[in-house]
Structure 1
Amino acid sequence: MEILSCENVAFKYNESTDYAISDCTFSVKKGEKIMLCGASGSGKSTLLRLLKRELSPRGELFGNITLMGKDRSELSDRESAEKIGFVMQSPDSQTVCDKVSAELAFGLESFGVKSGEIQSRVGEMAAFFGI
């Protein structure tokens, strides 16, 4: 099953005549790992931001981006937040809490998960990663 598909994706920033991305087509199946690489300014960050609707840059998007079988515009805010993660180039500048356990709990709290379940899940994550 494809979890991500980009078909003929092109993107042009507002007030720009040049395309930041053009004719980008690929898919990712469940369990696959891919690497996106290219020179500075080649559109890597722009493409990744387009995958997460809330982080999309302003401009003109062409083509189709499908996530988990749905057009990205059809995902609810909750689905998008729960299913699509995004870590920028400097993860250290993205921490919210002063303790690892609180950082692990932060996202679950944001989704209204009950306290007991949060404690259980944080404990499971900590054990899994050996922290």
Structure 2
Amino acid sequence: MDPVTEPDATVVKSDEEWRAQLTPAEYQVLRRAGTERPFVGEYTDTKTAGVYSCRACGAELFRSDTKFESHCGWPSFYTPLAGSAVIERTDYSMGMKRVEVVCATCKSHLGHVFEGEGYSTPTDLRYCINSISLRLEEKPLS
């Protein structure tokens, strides 16, 4: 898995605008690449059908039919929506190489993606995403 070259964000706001729009907890995760505590997020165990969007800008990111139970403490998906919904970038912030996942539309931090963990999913990827980065629009999927 190779991180892709980043396109420019299409939603651009000042730090003050993001702080005014987001709660302090949302701001910490989405704009400062924080992480919510495991097993406390509103979507960790959700099985509701629908589309998960970026809480900061509303861009559609993941579908519920790609969500799976990884038991890691955060919502897990095996693939984002087709196209360029997310950007993957190398992250060394914890003293190890990881791949950060950000919203392609507003460059907000969503979580990280891991591969080769042995889950029985079609991609062998786990997009480990903070619930607080997402908003679920309930709707039947075709």
Give the TM-score normalised by structure 1. 0.25
RCO (CA 8 Å, sep 6+): is it higher in 1 or 2?
2
| Greater fraction strand | 2
- Looking at secondary structure, tell me which structure has more helix per residue: 1
